[in-house]
Amino acid sequence: VRLRLALDGNALSLDVPSHRVGARAESSAGGAGLGLELLDELGRSLGVGTPDADGHLALEVRSDALGGPGAGRLALRTDGDTTRAPGRTEIPIVRTRASTIDLDAPERVAVGASARLGGRRHDVSGPLPERASGIFANGEHRGSVLTRADGN
């Protein structure tokens, strides 16, 4: 059995409610009726289904089931049946979540003068502790800072 996974891209935004994952099963006996399971990199089941007559299956996976932001994998597996062998395929993914920085800064800073900046970095789940943020002025990197435990 040959299995394939299809996504719109390998970056999956956790800011949207769900993602459509396409799967295809092929064999000399066809892929229809074969039990398929979608797993994450930890082996957690994200969905199960049976391909149509053409071997296609579409699964809708909730973003909150995918885990936190970071690198991961999606795997598609089948135990096969009496005429088709077991199979497995995997693809790399990156789970992303947008973050926001609420910046406290002076409205004007004289050229060459220093300025004190403050702010809070967060996403929809709350503060983002120990995250690096780059500081740029006129396209030039001026420094980087780490947020504290409270996201400030």
CA–CA separation, 33 and 147 (whole Å): 51
pLDDT at residue 44, as a whole number:
97
Structure confidence at residue 57 as a pLDDT band (50, 70, 90): very high
Torsional sign, CA 10, 14, 20, 23: positive
Is 102 in a helix, a strand, or coil? Answer: strand
Is 114 in a helix, a strand, or coil? Answer: coil
What digits encode the pLDDT tens for the residues 105-136?
888 888 888 888 888 888 888 898 888 888 88
What digits encode the pLDDT tens for the residues 59-104?
999 999 999 999 999 999 999 999 999 999 999 999 999 988 888 8
61 Cβ contact partners less than 8 Å away, ≥ 6 residues apart:
18, 19, 20, 21, 38, 46, 47
pLDDT at residue 137, as a whole number:
78
pLDDT at residue 119, as a whole number:
87
87 Cβ contact partners less than 8 Å away, ≥ 6 residues apart:
1, 2, 3, 25, 77, 78, 80
| DSSP, res 4 | E
pLDDT at residue 134, as a whole number:
87
Query: Residue 93: which of 29, 143, 21 has the closest Cα?
Result: 21
The residue count for the chain: 152
How many CB atoms within 10 Å of residue 22? 14
pLDDT at residue 151, as a whole number:
84
What digits encode the pLDDT tens for the residues 22-38?
999 999 999 999 999 99
